[in-house]
Structure 1
């Protein structure tokens, strides 16, 4: 939800007079040029008496100033994310495969209220940036008047704290306050970016003391969570538990997760970022089905609301790799990977990042892409599983922005003169790679969206074929630009070992081959970093790689069958090198094959002495045995 509660409608804010409309500078200068959104903010600020810093910061917190043409999960439109509740309900219905139920929620219907306050049509508020921003300003000003607080372009921005909190759309005090705090942090730090549709907007940093006590005038609720919710203060979380239930007569007929005693055994080391490939309501139905599978949290797109399903001590079945499941917390994000920004909203990014920061502190998880990663980076457990692994959250998830919100920018810890390792950092908004078959029947169906990767070629030329991936195509045939084909994508934030350089081109070792990408000095798409890499031990022609770090056979006690340590189809030969992601990988196998936790030799973590390292093999990471490789400090 966005921009206020229903009481704002009754605030009695007068519609803009004809004289005020005639004096609106954007009426004559709004257009399709890059400065039009900036002018629209200035004009709406003057017309409705909202400090421009407040108006722009609220918009940034909702959409980062992008113009969404109807957010898929909530019917939210434009840079102010004005919500058409009827269309939002219809969108939810379509996601569930049900008939839409277009009954507007008056609290959520910010677009309808903005139409009442401004006299503008809903269609104009949906499609015109000037109208949309005027609508958002009108809502803020109406709330400020209702609360008996001063309006005016020159009023102290700190006096708008309650109106900003109300703009969160939440009736919960801590959630509304958290949104306001985020917004005021934008005012303090400033922001500047070119939006996805090419508009340049800048908000200079300014010193403002938010008057947090004014939020009491909203008379919001204090939230009391039921169940063992493990979320930070100020995050809109609820407990919607996944069932742990027996589904048949056998001891192994149960779902949809396993009981455990994490982080004692196994240790929690990772957080997996997923997307649901369905609506929020559909995801809740699935995670509530004992015959399906469970993950830890689901984040709603429209407002960043979070449902927790598992206690982190228990093991969800979400990663498609039992070893990763044992060590990971899984977070699903409402949306479809092939549609990208239509679903990956700013409230979603902010809520998810706040949750991940909290969990990372709680479980001592490093804030890097070797420990906080996408489902698409997880290897198959065996060679036979590789081709069927998932590819979410896909090419449109903004990893750079996400890690900025985590407080761990991917641009940090670079080393100007390092030679052996590079981190892929092409930017996001300006990095619009060709992607095809977002509709699996239509090649040209993805449109132009920012992407989070660079393509890798077999030679230093744009015309050279893309590198192949023998895990996806055993023949090693070239990868494609299809939205689901990760075989030639070097993803933002990942670190790789340099194989060669030629002019503006850099080659990295990638799934056993050289992959070339354009990396000009004047406009680099990768940055040099320090770290370590591995090479096969002297005398080994090649080193095997694995999808899991299981113990040696001698580590298994009587009654627990030893699990095969099965190499993947990838190897890397002498002369190749791969960046190290983690030198402290747990070596264990969590045995859980029966419903009852009291079953002998079950719900046991088998720990081995063999050692593994996590390496950056390709788009997906992998593991190598310490006995097979040497670790080398990168220059």
Structure 2
């Protein structure tokens, strides 16, 4: 519609439509593309392939990448530092400011294009940027670099509409240059017939002889906190000291195996669970559900079902677990956006899982021993524990039903003469720990799962 200008109390119509201010992130892409002569929609596609245009609050990815352009600072890749030199902006600014981050990404991509010999005339053609895009990903081998670049051009072909940024769908047949040959992998090198093979660095896993020497009885679900190709590249980096057996792509469920199942990948953060499990990483970020596509769920579930059948692993939530369920883990993946119900349906197993993967002792911590418990019907059990070393009591309520699904659960502890302490909410496996000093003191304790409630009398007085 036309705008109105008010002069001396009179409204005067202005010719032409009123233009809405551009979204700040969209404007940042416009400016960066112009400044460094990078095709704007290709720059958007690269950012979307890396992060879905989410800066994740300035927090780094698993491989040390920052911002919507995933500017990386790790022992082998230094696009963050390169961007700082090219733009004269500080690393802190590039990490925390979206506009600076996009400008830095464009500067790095342009520098890669210059290295690849893209001429001034060719810079206008997105097809001529394939080698530069492949180099931007920092992959250590040409096969992974091609996977990275192909993902960017797939996004370009489908278009982007996210975070206030739009890029029209544009099918481009890229000039792959030195990446023109598609490396193939013999199926014999993989344990799962649907996977491609890229070996992790030998520094990132331990050669073993499973299941002959050690039983495999767990499958652990992870989220990469980064892109598919970026994660593959990171597991190839000796400095990573981490790996998983498989990585699954968001867009189409493509699976790459990086460690043989007989060998012990470093994925669980717990030596015992590394010995007994197969780890599956899923492209994405725990905070963003848009990464968890139906194609990913179905492909991963087929892989999990195959692994479970080959090793006789029960298809339940006691044996197919999240990284967050590993004892002593400080990880939250796969997070609340992961749809366990859908996933277990595709696996063909039970979401309830039979037994809770946690114990009261694990919940309360080292030094605590159970001194009392009370069943909450069939829904769960509430436990009272005591630590003789420090005189503390602890209460934990463990669920028996709806395992892995958030539901109303609580635990409380009330020391004589003190206010009651309660942990209450919608929890997937347990409520607690609720701890308090109670040496020589009477206590009341109890908990709730659903509608089943227990509250003790004043007892255990010393």
TM-score normalised over the length of structure 1: 0.39
Displacement after TM superposition at 1:479 (Å): 1.4
Q: How many residues were matched structurally?
A: 321
Displacement after TM superposition at 1:487 (Å): 4.9
Q: Is there any run of 5+ residues in structure 2 with no aligned partner, and where? A: 1-20, 226-233, 249-254, 347-363, 365-377, 383-396, 401-406, 411-422, 432-447, 453-462
Query: 1:427-475 CA distances to partner (integer Å, 9 max, x unpaired)?
Result: xxxxxxxxxxxxx9xxxxxxxxxxxxxxxxxxxxxxxxxxx95157379
Aligned match for 1:396, one of 335, 341, 346: 335
Displacement after TM superposition at 1:56 (Å): 0.8
Q: 1:168 to 1:353 in 2, by over 3 A?
A: farther
The question of whether the paired residues in 2 share the 8 Å contact of 1:272 and 1:373 is answered with no
Q: Tell me: higher relative CO, structure 1 or 2? Use CA pairs within 8 A at least 6 residues apart.
A: 1
Alignment of 1:11-26 (within 5 A): none
Query: 1:94-146 CA distances to partner (integer Å, 9 max, x unpaired)?
Result: xxxxxxxxxxx4x5111111111122222221221111111100111111122
The question of whether the paired residues in 2 share the 8 Å contact of 1:63 and 1:345 is answered with no
Displacement after TM superposition at 1:70 (Å): 3.5
Partners in 1 of 2:326 and 2:91 — Cα distance? 47
Which structure: greater helix fraction? 2
Partners in 2 of 1:166 and 1:67 — Cα distance? 22
Q: Secondary structure at the match of 2:152?
A: helix
Name the counterpart of 1:51: 39
The question of whether the paired residues in 1 share the 8 Å contact of 2:196 and 2:256 is answered with no
Displacement after TM superposition at 1:396 (Å): 2.8
Partners in 1 of 2:133 and 2:336 — Cα distance? 27
Q: Is there any run of 5+ residues in structure 1 with no aligned partner, and where? A: 1-32, 86-104, 195-199, 246-253, 260-265, 288-294, 380-385, 413-439, 441-467, 490-510, 516-635
Partners in 1 of 2:302 and 2:61 — Cα distance? 28
Name the counterpart of 1:462: none
Displacement after TM superposition at 1:65 (Å): 0.9
Structure 2 residue 161 is matched with structure 1 residue 192: yes
Name the counterpart of 2:370: none
Partners in 2 of 1:274 and 1:392 — Cα distance? 9
The question of whether the paired residues in 2 share the 8 Å contact of 1:171 and 1:221 is answered with no
Q: Secondary structure at the match of 1:308?
A: coil
Q: 1:276 to 1:168 in 2, by over 3 A?
A: closer
Q: 1:141 to 1:47 in 2, by over 3 A?
A: same
Partners in 1 of 2:408 and 2:166 — Cα distance? 42
Partners in 1 of 2:140 and 2:256 — Cα distance? 12
Partners in 2 of 1:359 and 1:478 — Cα distance? 32
Aligned match for 1:74, one of 59, 63, 81: 63
Query: 1:205-263 CA distances to partner (integer Å, 9 max, x unpaired)?
Result: 122112223536xxx997999x9454744756456444249xxxxxxxx996238xxxx
Displacement after TM superposition at 1:35 (Å): 1.8
Query: 1:354-394 CA distances to partner (integer Å, 9 max, x unpaired)?
Result: 9955974994999xxxx999779659xxxxxx998999755
Partners in 2 of 1:469 and 1:283 — Cα distance? 46
Name the counterpart of 2:280: 331
Q: 1:133 to 1:311 in 2, by over 3 A?
A: same
Partners in 2 of 1:484 and 1:242 — Cα distance? 41
Structure 2 residue 206 is matched with structure 1 residue 273: no
Name the counterpart of 2:380: 470
Q: 1:45 to 1:317 in 2, by over 3 A?
A: closer
Aligned match for 2:134, one of 138, 159, 165: 165
Q: 1:154 to 1:193 in 2, by over 3 A?
A: same
Query: 1:48-72 CA distances to partner (integer Å, 9 max, x unpaired)?
Result: 1111111111111111111131416
Q: 1:364 to 1:150 in 2, by over 3 A?
A: farther
